[in-house]
Structure 1
Amino acid sequence: MTGDLPGAGSQSANGSLRLREGRGSRLLRRRVRKGVTAVWFAALAGTAFLPGVACAQVSDPGPGQGAPVKKLPDSDPQETQQAQQGAPQDEAIVPDAEFEAALPRLSDDINAPLEPIPDMGKPPVTQPATPGSVTSQIESFPPPAAEAPEFAQPLIPLAEFKVEPVKIEGVDDEKVTTIRYTVAVEGLDKIGLEDKFRDLSALEDGDGKAANAAMVAARAREDEKLAVRLMHSLGYYDGTAISTIEQNPKNSGNVRATITATPGALYRLAKVEVVSTPTVPPGLLDRELNLNPGDPIQAERVQGAEANVSLRLPQQGYPFTKVGDRDILLDEETHTGDYTLPVELGPRASFGAIVTEGRRQVFDVDHINILRRYKPGQLYDSRKVDDLREALIATSLFSTVSVEPVRTGEVGPDETEVVDLLVRQNRGRARTLAAEVGYSTGQGFRAEGSWTHRNLFPPEGALIASAILGTQEQGVTGTFRRSNAGQRDRTFQASASLNHSDFAAFESYTGSVAVRWSRDSTPIWQKRWTYFYGAEIVGSNEDRYNFSAGGRDRGTWLIAALPTFIGYDASDNLLNPTRGFRLKANVSPETSVRGAARPYARLMVEGTVYYPVSSSIVLAGRARAGSIPGVARDDLPPSRRYYAGGGGSVRGFGYQELGPRSPDGRPVGGRALNEFAIEARYRFGNYGIVPFVDAGQVYEGIYPTLRNMRFGAGIGGRLYTNFGPLRVDVATPIARKPGESRISLYISIGQAF
């Protein structure tokens, strides 16, 4: 419950709550009547108030009635009448002659300047008291004393100000006296608010400790207000709460604070009215608001309904919709409320053109038009505007970018108004440095770094230089990449690379050039369908075990390939999925030439699934199978064969360690493989523990027969960051054979699958 609607006699920031004062109803704004004290003020006409003189109310006697008669507050009416008719009159408090003598002499000229007071600044003059007169005293203030020199000194800087604690003899400052208390809540469990109350309670936040009982009482008063707010948020506007504090047990020094809530009656909607112009189609506002008579007046329900109007109307042709302040008129007798919501629709609109502004623009209008997923003239839909904004953000070329509708006043289809989209853009930094470091048993250390200029060849023409430095692999690659190449989400890429690899299975020196068209996912824009297709030419000098010659030799191969890939991603997250599944398929027709051309195809299918067992545990599984038909294994270049084992394959074994081996004990690789893995990913906060079991094997033939499967088991740790989890896995082979490692360690970024 994020907030409460205005309670009885209150007003919220988004609307007002008033009270019907009809017959049989009473105000919810209950007034507390306080005692009123009547004060009699003296009003002496033509006289002055003098200090020390008691004043009484004096009535004007009128012409010919002599001096006024003093009215006593508690006098009898009959006595008062007698006093007015013939009783002796009281003497004047100040005789007229003395009063006139005390007045200063004034000039008869009304335009003359004010005359100075002759006695100003002289010591007070005291006149002797005479019978029937009043002592008069004129006082003046003494001159101020000299200011102490300490006040003229500058203040000590706040950073240097230190307060020395007061030392009290016999008191140990290290031992702070505290009292302990328990909290009891009554009445809120009946309406399902006790858990919410305890989450927000000041008493609960104190962990049952306080310096003194006054602190406990202050927290209890705050919790009274909290309980009332929570009850109001659910529609119990007559709800009250009181707190009591008592020792428990008696004379123990421990106390119990009890919050007792009385919800009262639940208020419901009596009438729902939306004040607005007609919509197209009719009833659109009522349908999207979806508040009905009889619904409880709950803050979450009402605020959610109003938010739905603000969200859904712009998706259906009304980009300028403004929801006004609600008004709820409560009737305390019937426990109902009349709800009124003003809504300013604005014009029904259709898409027009795109216009841009900004001092450092990145894209022109033509390129932005490639990114939009609507056609001019279509009914306005804010979801397509959000989609365009996300596509611009995904380019990572802006420091700031916004997209908003602008009215044109032009008439569009179906009597709509044409609105343009204004793209405000400011260029951001286009260069990026990135690095990645990993380690695994059998492969050693591997570090990869890259430098990228994302817009060296506008629009979105990037140049990427990358390098790999590792225990068993070194290489450099240069890549040109154009994103959104003539079509939204289509990427063209051309690359050239030089690499040296020294693995247990083979050593190679390789150079390649490749081109590729692709549709890829990104963390900002995760796509269901992804693909790539392209062409690749590879020249490679590699060593291998020559079974015909009975020893190792080197050879040079020229390889031409047409790699293709298609994938379907139904998971909920690209870097750390917790539910859903993924399917992938690779097909690469290839030809290797070493003396003679030998065509073949490399095929691979893979599926992964993610199932949340609970909010903190996810079961993840993977299955992979591959085959290379069309060529004998020994005619394949070693770098194009299938291998298994390692951190991204079957953990517990070294890199490329599984499968057939040559007489010298080194892996040979094969034309088929199968792999399986299952993990239980337990996450607590930003950390995780992952037990796992992997299985796999490589075969000389073209079919993954599932025979002689090898298993590895282990446990891993995860540190979750905003760029993906950091992974550390430790595994061991099951039924280990001679020469295989007892323990394998893998450190990298990202989940295993």
Structure 2
Amino acid sequence: MKRLFRIHVNLLVLFMIPGLLMASPGKDWTVAKVKIEGLETVSVKMAKAVLSVRPANIRPWVKDQVFAQSLVDADIKNLTQLMEQEGYFESQIDFTLNENPDREKVSVIYKIVEGPPILVDSMDMEGLDGLSENLREKIIEFTPLEKGERLRTEPYGQAKDKIIDLLNTHGYPHAAVTGSIMVNKQEKTAAVTLKVDPKGYYLFGPASVAGLEKTNPNVILSRVTFEEGKMYTRKELEETQREIFSLGFLSKVGVKTLETKEQVESAAPPTPENPGSLPLEITGEYKKFKSVRFGIGYGTEEKLRLSAGWRHRHFTSQATQLDFSVKTSEILQSAQAELWQPYFFSKKQEFKNTLGAKREDEISYIDLSFFNEASVTRKLSRYWSGTIGHQLEMHRPEEYSLDLQGDETEAENNYLVSSLALGFERDSRPKVLIPRSGTFLSTRYWYGSSSLGSEIDYYKLSVEGSILIPLGQRFVLASRAGFAGIETLEDTETVPLFMRLFSGGTHSVRGYEYQHLGPVNDDGEYMGGQSRWEGSIELRFPIYKKITGVAFTDCGSVLEDPFSFDGSSFRYTAGPGIRYESPVGALSLDVGYQLNPQDDYADTYRVHFSVGQAF
């Protein structure tokens, strides 16, 4: 009997071995393809996003994934969770493996039967009684699910976040939202409830600074954007953090409330009729105050760009910043020292002084200049600021390639330019690396006169603005426009070449060479002008990861007469472009096509390329 049993077991094992061998791919087999079949309502893209098994990549440098049964087991679990989150609690998930022994590859096919969905039977919102009618209406608009709709947890979670954000921006810093989903699998229905707990209405209290003993507290408090006694909003708190971080000497910035847990959980929380006061404490961590930097880049116009600098971010307890920098390229060589005082006699004022020398090798002249620019900027409102200053420049033209009628300046002579400067600026763009929204407006006025010691009498006005409009989550429409005009005064007959206005190039009107748009003399040399108009519209959109595409149209006009306008003189260009955040810096490539060329014999397109550090 025992012998017969052994024979039976041996035969059974013998027949199972081939099956076991066939059921599991080889140890080092890699994944070829991954497919999902059977989905009708839930998107395949959503299902693939939760998979651990990764198909072979078309890029040859990306190594194929080695197959493991544990990855498939994890996918079954992840897919089950996804189906439940999408309202399918009775879905059936299976898989099959298609093997290719010759190539030692395996393809995985997941087969999903969705089954009947769970439908919302009721959607209730609780805890709104103590809120204003306006807030209640806005919260009700966030109702995530309607009766008869398929139960989905994503909009349910998003609604909780939206309600908390709304309350945080309307005086409720500690608001919380909880909820429950009661599923009846037999009836295929669910009862959904959201419970709102505002916890208390607060106004901004006094702000203080802790743990930053090296810095005068007034410097940090000068960047606080909220006012004591105003309604609490988290947006103001976040804006304050960004403003303090922009001072440059902190690596981390924190703003926390000084309330106790007992006050937050009070049985009688503050109300809009009897609001609480929320004191805030600002903390942070210092960066290294001293740093050295080097930069390298290349551009179509400047060719090789090199730069170096040394910075002290916290030269005094007033957070005075001292910066030395040198730069060189084919069209500019400069060295300068800059002192910036972020707190200057008032929390709304800052002072800046820049001293330096530069040599500009432009298409119509070469100019060596020494300069000092001092200015005081005062914050006028949340977005507006005003600046007043003085500029002292000593120009020494090294070479003029053309003569202008009435221009008495000569090469190798020194010319002193002393002028007052006044400006106003409005900037509502978020303080982030790449903003997607906001507007910018700047106007500047310069006045140079012999009464100020200037050898060139003139006045100059420039106005420029830009706007960023987000179009959904992926696209941004960027537009800019600008005007500049200059005119001589008193005994100066002609604006010298080194002060005239030029246009064309990567940062001006793409499609034209650098400073090649505008008036020319009889020899075809570009003279610049006394009026300049420029504009641009650009659509930005993502392509792949850090690669972004643009489609643009630019326009520009340079006129000989000061403060003049001629619609027929405008030149228009259009073209595509690409941007990439590379390890060595931003890379940009634009191809501009001239739609109405000013010169019938020149190239009607221009490639603009730049990579690395820009000046």
TM-score, length basis structure 2: 0.71
Q: Contact 1:627 / 1:704 at 8 angstroms: preserved in 2?
A: no
**Cα distance, 1:560–1:636 mapped onto 2, change above 3 Å:** same
**Residue 415 (structure 2) pairs with residue 557 (structure 1):** yes
Kindly indicate whether the alpha-carbon contact (under 8 Å) linking 1:224 and 1:241 is maintained by their aligned counterparts in 2: no
Aligned to 1:169: none
1:603 and 2:461 aligned: yes
CA pair 395-741 structure 1, distance change in 2 beyond 3 A: same
Per the TM alignment, residue 536 of structure 1 is displaced from its structure 2 partner at its CA by: 1.5
Q: Give the distance between the partners of 2:470 and 2:235, measured in 1 at CA.
A: 29
Q: What is the SS of the residue equivalent to 1:390?
A: helix
C-alpha distance in 2 between matches for 1:680 and 1:341: 40
Q: Give the letter aligned to residue 46 of structure 2.
A: K
Q: Which amino acid aligns with 1:357?
A: A
Write the letter of the residue equivalent to 2:544: F
Q: Is the 8 A contact 1:498 1:510 kept in 2?
A: yes
1:459-608 equivalences under 5 Å are 459-485=318-344, 490-518=349-377, 529=384, 532-542=387-397, 544=400, 545=403, 547=405, 553-568=411-426, 576=434, 582-591=440-449, 599-608=457-466
1:722 to 1:461, Cα distance in 2 relative to 1, 3 A? farther
Question: Is the counterpart of residue 430 in structure 1 residue 289 in structure 2?
Answer: yes
Q: In structure 2, what is the equivalent of residue 298 of structure 1?
A: 152
Report percent identity of matched pairs: 19
Q: Which residue of 1 aligns with 2:204?
A: 351
- Residue-by-residue CA offset, 1:15-58 (whole Å, 9 max, x unaligned): xxxxxxxxxxxxxxxxxxxxxxxxxxxxxxxxxxxxxxxxxxxx
Letter of the aligned partner of 1:747 in structure 2?
Answer: S
Q: Deviations 1:525-546 (Å, cap 9, x if unpaired)?
A: xx86565432222232336536
- SS of residue matched to 1:701: coil
Q: CA deviation at 1:196?
A: 1.9
The residue number in structure 1 matching 2:256 is 404
Cα contact 1:654–1:741 (8 A) shared by 2: no
Deviation of 1:736 after TM superposition, in Å, equals 5.7
2:501 is paired with a residue whose SS is coil
Displacement, 1:481?
0.9
Unaligned runs of 5+ in 2: 1-24, 58-63, 100-104, 264-268
Instruction: Please report the RMSD computed on the Cα atoms of aligned residues, expressed in angstroms.
Output: 5.1
Aligned counterpart in structure 1 of residue 560 of structure 2, from 700, 707, 715: 700
In structure 2, give the amino acid aligned to 1:483: P
Alpha-carbon offset, residue 655 of structure 1: 3.9
In the alignment, does 2:56 pair up with 1:200?
Answer: no
For the Cα contact (< 8 Å) 1:373–1:384, is it kept in 2? yes
Aligned match of 1:726 in 587, 591, 604?
Answer: 587
Structure 1 residue 515: deviation in Å? 1.8
Give the distance between the partners of 1:194 and 1:724, measured in 2 at CA. 36
DSSP 3-state at the match of 1:388 = helix
Amino acid at match of 2:546: N
Moved more, 474-483 or 374-383: 374-383
What is the CA-CA distance between 1:320 and the residue it aligns to?
3.7
Conserved 8 A contact 1:438-1:445: yes
Q: Which moved further from structure 2: 552-561 or 177-186?
A: 177-186
Question: 1:629-688 CA deviation, whole Å, 9 max, x = no partner?
Answer: 345995323222112233323445554344445678754332123345566656433235
1:638 corresponds in structure 2 to 497
Q: 1:126-137 to 2 correspondence within 5 Å?
A: none
Find the aligned partners of 1:652 and 1:420 in 2 and give their Cα distance: 56
Does the 8 A contact of 2:297 with 2:614 survive in 1?
Answer: no
Q: Match of 1:157? A: none
- In structure 1, runs of 5+ residues without a counterpart are 1-172, 521-526
- The letter for the 2-side match of 1:354 is A
Within-5 A mapping of 1:611-650: 622-631=480-489, 635-650=494-509
**Using the alignment, how far apart are the partners of 2:554 and 2:171 within structure 1?**
53
The answer for the alignment partner of 1:142 in structure 2 is none
Give how far 1:456 is off: 0.8
Letter of the 1:687 partner, please give it: I
SS at match of 1:197: helix
**How far 1:737 moved relative to its partner?**
7.4
State the SS of the aligned residue for 2:160.
Answer: helix
Say if 1:440 and 1:646, in contact at 8 Å, map to a contact too: no
Deviates more, 1:349-358 or 1:607-616: 607-616
Go from structure 1 to structure 2 and tell me whether the alpha carbon gap of 1:268 and 1:206 turns closer, same or farther (over 3 Å shift).
Answer: farther
Kindly tell me the number of residue pairs found equivalent between the two proteins.
561
Q: TM-score, normalised by structure 1?
A: 0.60
Give the C-alpha shift of residue 431 in structure 1.
2.7
- Over residues 205-237 of structure 1, what are the superposed CA-to-partner deviations in whole Å (9 max), with x where a residue is unaligned? 589x9999xx78x87766554444233213344
Matched AA of 1:199: A
Residue pair 1:329, 1:338 contacting (<8 A) in 2 also: yes
Distance between the aligned counterparts of 1:211 and 1:311, measured in 2?
44
User: Cα–Cα, structure 1 residues 692 and 268, in superposed 2: closer, same or farther, change >3 Å?
Assistant: closer
Write the distance in 2 (CA, Å) between the matches of 1:693 and 1:357: 51
Aligned equivalent of 2:233, options 381, 396, 407? 381
Deviation at 1:463, TM superposition (A): 1.4
| Alpha-carbon shift at residue 616 of structure 1 (Å) | 7.0
CA drift of 1:241 comes to 1.0
Q: Provide the C-alpha distance between the structure 1 equivalents of 2:72 and 2:97, rounded to a whole number of angstroms.
A: 12
The answer on whether the counterparts of 1:267 and 1:337 sit within 8 Å (CA) in structure 2 is yes
8 Å CA contact 2:333–2:360 kept in 1: the answer is yes
Query: What whole-Å deviation, never above 9, does each CA across 1:84-142 have from its counterpart, x for those lacking one?
Result: xxxxxxxxxxxxxxxxxxxxxxxxxxxxxxxxxxxxxxxxxxxxxxxxxxxxxxxxxxx
Residue 83 (structure 2) pairs with residue 231 (structure 1): yes
SS in 2 for 1:371: coil
Would you say the 8 A contact 1:650–1:675 is kept in 2?
Answer: yes
Q: Which residue of 2 aligns with 1:151?
A: none
What's the CA shift for 1:495? 2.2
Counting strand residues as a fraction of each chain, which structure ranks higher?
2
Q: Choose 1 or 2 for highest CA Rg.
A: 1
Alignment partners' CA distance in 1, 2:238 and 2:518? 51
Q: Aligned letter for 2:529? A: G
Distance change >3 Å, CA 444–CA 663, structure 1 → 2: farther
Other structure's SS at 2:236 match: helix
1:589 counterpart letter in structure 2: Y
Per-residue deviation, 1:272: 3.8
Asked if the contact 1:361/1:426 (under 8 Å) is kept, the reply is no
How far apart are the structure 1 equivalents of 2:450 and 2:417? 4
CA distance 1:655–1:323, shift in 2 (3 Å): closer
Deviation, structure 1 residue 462: 1.1
CA shift, 1:383, in A, is 3.0
1:311 maps to which residue?
A: 165
Kindly tell me: are residues 711 and 315 of structure 1, through their superposed partners in 2, closer, same or farther at Cα, counting changes over 3 Å?
A: closer
Whether contact under 8 Å (2:417, 2:456) holds in the other structure is: no
TM-aligned CA distance change 1:539 to 1:442, over 3 Å: same
Residue 346 of structure 1 deviates from its aligned partner by: 4.7
Match of 1:510, SS state, is strand
Conservation of the 8 A alpha-carbon contact between 1:536 and 1:563? yes
Contact 2:488 2:494 in 1 (8 A): no
Q: Answer whether contact 1:570 1:580 (CA < 8 A) is retained.
A: yes
Deviation at 1:561? 2.2
Aligned equivalent of 1:670: 529
Would you say the 8 A contact 1:441–1:655 is kept in 2? no
Structure 1 residue aligned with 2:222, among 356, 360, 370? 370
Cα deviation for residue 471 of structure 1 reads 3.6
* Counterpart-to-counterpart distance in 2, 1:369 and 1:595: 40
The answer to whether the 8 Å contact 1:674/1:698 transfers is yes
Give the secondary-structure state (helix, strand or coil) at the position aligned to 1:457.
coil
> Any conservation in 1 of the 2:170–2:232 contact (CA below 8 Å)?
yes
Residue by residue, what CA displacement relative to the aligned partner does 1:560-589 show, whole Å, maximum 9, x if unpaired?
A: 323334455577887656677655443323
**Which residue does 1:455 correspond to in 2?**
314
